[in-house]
Amino acid sequence: MINRRKSLQTIASGIGAAAFGSSMFPEIGRAASHLSGGGPKRVIFFLQNNGFGSQTCIPAGMTSRGSLAKAVLPEPIKALEPFKENLQIINGLHGMHTSPGHSAYFGALGGYRGGGGVAPSGPTIDYELSKVLPETLLPHLCIGMDSMANMTAKPTVAHLSARGAGSPIFMHSNPNHLYQMLYGGISEGDIRNQHDARSGMLERIERMATAEANALPTPEKERYGRFARGFGDMNGLRKRLGEASDQLRKFAPEVDERYSRPEFETDWHDTLLDLGISALKSGITNTLTIGSGRGTIFGSWKGIGVETEGHPVGHQNQMGDIWTKIRQYNTSMLVKLMEELESVPEGSGTMMDNTLIVYTSNNATTQHTGGKNWPIMLLGNCNGAFKTGCFTQLDGTRPINALYTSILRTTGVDVDRFNMTDKLAAKYDSGTGPLKEVLA
């Protein structure tokens, strides 16, 4: 009995099923958001590791709030120049209470104390939004971009998103695995054969795990039962995706040599982005989290001519050549996200009209930071819910939690604080409720 139970856990860990089931798929069947007169139908979080220096995003000479209409964006984000009317640059939030250091890990999106090897202490904002945005098959999708070695050896990791205390949401880093999960049921050839084989295996493991859990004492039964429920969630998702095959076929990206024979890690970065976009456009998900560097100090960008990788990248000048290339690569991804969503009609406008993109870092301005300033860029006004075409300078007394509260408010959630007790707020937040400065 013991050996069999351990073997099931080993299988679960090996194929990532524990990640998929216990953390990746929130409950299906929730009520849709109470949207009225604006607010996002979907939210994208893009976090670049090693900091987001304010000098890389604030136009020269701008020291207080004002219009971006006549401003010239800094070279690292110059690709956003044609999209300034859809952009809000926010400076002056803080995350001192998250103790970011090299990274705030789960604290970056959770607004609480984080750390390497430290489990999340509560849900992160992306997961909370996925619960209240309009219902989708896979409410939350998290993808992580890293070096080829790391993405191959560790196709799923968890450093940024969480369902709650001790419940991380794993991010996908191998596009082949993610494609098979999302589109294997509508594919042909080897991809379909691998999908069917894995589906059959997962169904058998689910039955075994369920039987195993039922035979255990109550304390261990609940803990081990998460494995069984995880397999059930995974198998249920595959079935639902199969039933939506006609819709999925319209948006499934083409599988090319970048998947099977990538020249650089950025080939996989690009295919992961394509899969994230396809999941949004097809309606599979309403919340996409992108972690470049996967929420740690790692990362690699040799495909864009950056030879330095990992921890040393964080020690480079953020206005220097290396960081300019990385930030330009990031902003090209942001542009692609906007253009792709702009191409799909939705209601009286397009998908982008109902989408909010949040770009920042997992550790404030630099790799070694106390979190005193945490620059953030917002793209999209969500039918007038957010100010755009402007630079918003805050006074440094309100935390990143206040922005997350603001986003929740636009979805109809009546909340004055996000993941911050009154005691903590007395020390780290000068106000309460949303940031009026960022909302229209």
Over residues 89-112, the mean pLDDT reads 96
3-state class (DSSP) for residue 255:
coil
Q: Show the tokens assigned to 406.
A: 């603001």
User: At which residue do the structure tokens 């896979």 appear?
Assistant: 138
Query: Residue 298, exposed/middle/buried by CB under 10 A (0-12, 13-18, 19+)?
Result: buried
The span from the CA of 420 to the CA of 402, in Å, is 9
What pLDDT is recorded for position 38? 76
Instruction: Give yes or no for residue 76 having a pLDDT over 60.
Output: yes
Instruction: Give yes or no for residue 18 having a pLDDT over 80.
Output: no
Q: In sequence order, which residues have a C-beta less than 8 Å from that of residue 12 and are 6 or more positions away?
A: 18, 205, 209, 227, 230, 231
Over residues 316-320, the mean pLDDT reads 94
Find the range with the poorest average confidence among 42-51, 189-198, 420-429. Answer: 189-198
Find the range with the poorest average confidence among 69-83, 161-175, 328-342. Answer: 161-175
3-state class (DSSP) for residue 42:
strand
pLDDT 10s digits, 360-406: 999 999 999 999 999 999 999 999 999 999 999 999 999 999 999 99
How sure is the predictor about 1, in pLDDT bands with cuts at 50, 70 and 90?
very low
CA angle 47, 52, 55 (to 5 degrees): 150
What pLDDT is recorded for position 35? 40
User: Is 33-175+260-428 CATH 2.60.480?
Assistant: no
Phi, psi for residue 134 in degrees, rounded to 5: -50, 140
Phi, psi for residue 195 in degrees, rounded to 5: -65, -45
Give me the DSSP letters along 137-168: SSSEEEEEE--HHHHHH-SEEEEEEEEETTEE
Over residues 231-245, the mean pLDDT reads 65
E strand or H helix at 241, and its extent? helix 218-243
